[in-house]
């Protein structure tokens, strides 16, 4: 079932809830179990909390286009009260959802019976005081706002601002700024659409607000560059404040250079000092104060450089891998093929390849590091490049904001791994 394929994964600000969106337009929220005296190991287990249909397939009659229901991104809002709020988007429409709990119901209405039928007014002789009675816990998801009709092209990013009042949404050529309370208008803050579309040389691939400075955001492009914009300088941020680009090494230039340098994801560190960009073969960490080159470059699957031709033929070269930071910013994670995902420790410079698969995912089993051999003799526990499965890919990962718990989406399976508890 292609509708079950997970298309986004996102922890909320506390890490107690984890949301996934899929190609069928559904959102599934998992809640972390609280610690139980009788089952000390149960802490950390995530169980289904709420499932709801966020988007339906639509048809744009003006353009004769089908609009997929697939959820492109989910972003949680910081929690302000007992309810939780999240934004979810498909290619065209963003929705704000409220997720709330009900464990009491009112009984003893004056104007209707217990089964809900209206009572005859002449039979009402006494005044009843309704009482709240406990009932089984119900989790309700209700759409609070729908932000539509603002994007001509497909939405690839949404990002909530640190002012908790506004958010941005980005498509291939434009970035819009919304107020969470206002659905009928948004402000266009970036527009890179040329007057003549034949002069189009790049598209926007991802955009994100700075975690602490509400006036700063970045967006990445298919040309491998990142622009940092400051909304204080002008209303339309077409002129960037900073421009991050690594000069290309002419010796490694090839037919595929432009395709593999396209940035598929950009993420600020929690501290706000660094940002990370993911391109096809590597993940780079940039210091916001240094635009000329990244301070770290980590090779994700360098062994695929010799395979770019066949990856181009089977369209895998256009896969968009995401990346994420650990809660302390000391490690980063991103996905690869064959259900492998990579973790890089920024302090020790050590890295590891792990595999998310049903065979090795028995509860509380340790993950064994995997190694890929690129030629010559293959050792016993290594896997050769030629036997990697390119249909199994980990594009979406998420890291708990405070603990070493990670969520990894492998096609239609969600894996949650955590540090060993003694």
pLDDT band of 106, cuts 50, 70, 90: confident
CA 178 to chain CA centroid, nearest Å: 19
pLDDT band at 344 (very low <50, low <70, confident <90, very high): very high
Q: Tokens 């470059």 — which residue? A: 297
The mean pLDDT value for 164-173 works out to 96
d(CA 194, CA 241): 20
Confidence (pLDDT) at 1: 66
- Whole-angstrom distance, CA of residue 105 vs CA of residue 210: 42
- The secondary structure of residue 114, as a DSSP letter, is T
CA distance 276 to 274: 7
Lookup: tokens for 108: 């003893």
- Position 376 scores a pLDDT of 65
Cα angle 380, 341, 268; round to 5: 150
Query: Is the per-residue pLDDT at 330 higher than 70?
Result: yes
Q: Which of 87-101, 250-264, 372-386 has the lowest mean pLDDT?
A: 372-386
Q: Which two tokens stand for residue 197?
A: 């579309």
pTM value is 0.89
pLDDT at 153 over 50: yes
Q: Which of 176, 214, 179 is nearest to 193 (CA)?
A: 176
User: For the chain, what are the domain ranges?
Assistant: 1-148
pLDDT tens per residue across span 353-412 = 999 987 766 766 778 888 887 776 677 778 888 889 999 999 999 999 999 999 999 989
Dihedral (Cα; 414, 411, 4, 32), 10-degree rounding: 10
CA-closest candidate to residue 280, choices 247, 250, 312: 312
CB-side neighbour CA atoms (13 Å) of 283: 27
Question: What tens digit of pLDDT does each residue of 61-70 get?
Answer: 888 889 999 9
The whole-number average pLDDT for the span 350-355 is 92
DSSP string, 129-158: PPEEEEEEEEEEEEEEEEE-S--SS---EE
CB 272: neighbour CB atoms within 10 A?
15
* 63-71, Cβ contacts within 8 angstroms, sequence gap of 24 or more: 67/91, 67/92, 67/93, 68/23, 69/23, 69/24, 69/25, 70/7, 70/21, 70/22, 70/23, 70/24, 70/25, 71/7, 71/8, 71/21, 71/22, 71/23, 71/25, 71/26, 71/27
Torsion sign (Cα): 169, 52, 355, 344: positive
Query: Could you give the CA distance from residue 246 to residue 279 in angstroms, rounded to a whole number?
Result: 12
- Are 226 and 241 contacting, i.e. CB atoms less than 8 angstroms apart? no
pLDDT band for position 130 (cuts 50, 70, 90): confident
How confident is the prediction for the chain on average, in pLDDT?
91
Cα(5)–Cα(193) distance, integer angstroms: 32
What's the average model confidence in pLDDT over 200-213? 96
With cut-offs at 50, 70 and 90, classify the pLDDT of residue 38.
low
pLDDT at residue 252, as a whole number: 79
Query: Is the pLDDT at 291 greater than 90, yes or no?
Result: yes
Structure confidence at residue 422 (pLDDT): 43
Bridge pairing between strands 405-410 and 413-418: antiparallel
Determine the pLDDT at residue 28. 97
Q: How confident is the model at residue 421 (pLDDT cuts 50, 70, 90)?
A: low
Instruction: List the one residue out of 231, 252, 230 whose CA is nearest residue 241.
Output: 230
Q: CA 31, CA 216: separation in Å to the nearest integer?
A: 32
């Amino acid at each position: 079932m292609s509708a079950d394929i997970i298309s986004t994964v996102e922890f909320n600000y506390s890490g107690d809830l984890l949301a996934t969106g899929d190609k069928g337009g559904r959102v599934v929220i998992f809640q972390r179990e609280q610690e139980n005296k009788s089952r000390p190991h149960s802490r950390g287990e995530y169980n289904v909390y709420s499932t709801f249909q966020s988007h339906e397939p639509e048809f744009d009659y003006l353009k004769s286009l089908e609009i997929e229901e697939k959820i492109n991104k989910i972003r949680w809002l910081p929690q302000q009260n007992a309810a939780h709020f999240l934004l979810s988007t498909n290619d065209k429409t963003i929705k704000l959802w409220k997720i709330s709990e009900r464990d009491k119901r009112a009984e003893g209405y004056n104007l209707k019976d217990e089964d809900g039928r209206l009572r005859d007014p002449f039979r009402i002789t006494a005044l009843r005081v309704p009482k709240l009675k406990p009932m089984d816990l119900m989790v309700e998801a209700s759409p609070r706002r729908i932000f539509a009709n603002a994007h001509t092209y497909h939405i690839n990013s949404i990002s909530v601002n640190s002012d908790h009042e506004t958010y941005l949404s980005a498509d291939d050529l434009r970035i819009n700024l919304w107020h969470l309370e206002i659905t009928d208008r948004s402000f266009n803050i970036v527009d890179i659409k040329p007057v003549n579309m034949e002069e189009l040389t790049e598209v926007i691939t991802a955009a994100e607000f700075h975690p602490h400075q509400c006036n700063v955001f970045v967006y990445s492009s298919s040309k491998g560059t990142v622009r940092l914009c400051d909304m204080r300088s002008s209303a339309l941020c077409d002129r960037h404040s900073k421009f991050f680009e690594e000069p290309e090494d002419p010796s490694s230039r090839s037919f595929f250079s432009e395709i593999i340098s396209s940035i598929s994801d950009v993420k600020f560190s929690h501290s706000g000092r660094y940002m990370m960009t993911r391109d096809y073969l590597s993940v780079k960490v940039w210091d916001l104060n240094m635009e000329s080159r990244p301070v770290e470059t980590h090779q994700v699957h360098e062994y695929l450089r010799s395979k770019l031709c066949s990856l181009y033929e089977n369209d895998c070269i256009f896969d968009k891998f995401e990346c994420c930071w650990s809660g302390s910013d000391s490690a980063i994670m991103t996905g690869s093929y064959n259900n492998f995902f990579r973790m890089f420790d920024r302090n020790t410079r050590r890295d590891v390849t792990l595999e998310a698969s049903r065979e090795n995912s028995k509860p509380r089993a340790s993950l064994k590091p995997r190694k890929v051999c690129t030629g010559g003799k293959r050792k016993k526990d290594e896997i050769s490049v030629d036997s990697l499965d390119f249909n199994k890919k980990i594009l979406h990962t998420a890291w708990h904001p405070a603990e070493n718990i990670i969520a990894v989406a492998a096609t239609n399976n969600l894996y949650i791994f955590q540090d060993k508890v003694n």
